[in-house]
């Protein structure tokens, strides 16, 4: 006789990660990216919520004695070059929402790309001209 867990798994299917038989979201072929920036934390006396990485191989270009934290990107433009697709994607950022200019204006809270792709990201507060994109 099947157990309750077995019956629950059979009913819920494999699509939902909350299902006992569901697929782990980390095993998907795509990865969600939320581009962020470093900023000086407003509370100067406390430890940063997101400290800088440790190690000798990482060389910061700013004063590491200040408490840095992660912030959302400001309103502007984000450009993502996909090595796999060999294409430059353009996103307009407004209030932390990314609007894909290459997909007819679809909006998202994060960028989704294949996990085996190599990406280059560039941020600008103004839109690039067509001449600069070429």
Q: In terms of residues, how long is the chain?
A: 134
Ranges of each domain in the chain = 32-133
d(CA 113, CA 116): 8
The series of mean pLDDT values per 10 residues for the chain, 134 residues long, is 60 60 68 84 61 64 70 91 94 89 80 92 93 86
| pTM of the predicted model as reported, rounded to 2 decimal places | 0.63
Closest CA to 123 of 62, 61, 73, 68: 73
8 Å CB contact between 114 and 84: yes
Which pLDDT value is given to residue 52?
62
Closest CA to 38 of 19, 28, 53, 24: 53
Which pLDDT value is given to residue 37?
87
8 Å CB contact between 82 and 99: no
């Amino acid at each position: 006789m099947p157990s309750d867990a077995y019956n629950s798994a059979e009913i819920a299917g494999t699509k939902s990660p909350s299902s006992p038989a569901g697929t782990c979201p980390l095993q998907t072929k795509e990865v969600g990216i939320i581009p962020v920036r470093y900023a000086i934390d407003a509370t100067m006396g406390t430890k940063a919520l997101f400290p800088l990485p440790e190690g000798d191989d990482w060389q910061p270009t700013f004063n590491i004695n200040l408490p840095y934290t992660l912030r959302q990107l400001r309103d502007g433009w984000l450009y993502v070059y996909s090595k796999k697709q060999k294409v430059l994607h353009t996103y307009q950022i407004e209030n932390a929402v990314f609007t894909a200019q290459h997909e007819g204006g679809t909006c998202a809270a994060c960028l989704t790309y294949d996990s085996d792709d190599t990406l280059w990201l560039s941020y600008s507060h103004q839109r690039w001209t067509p001449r600069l994109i070429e």
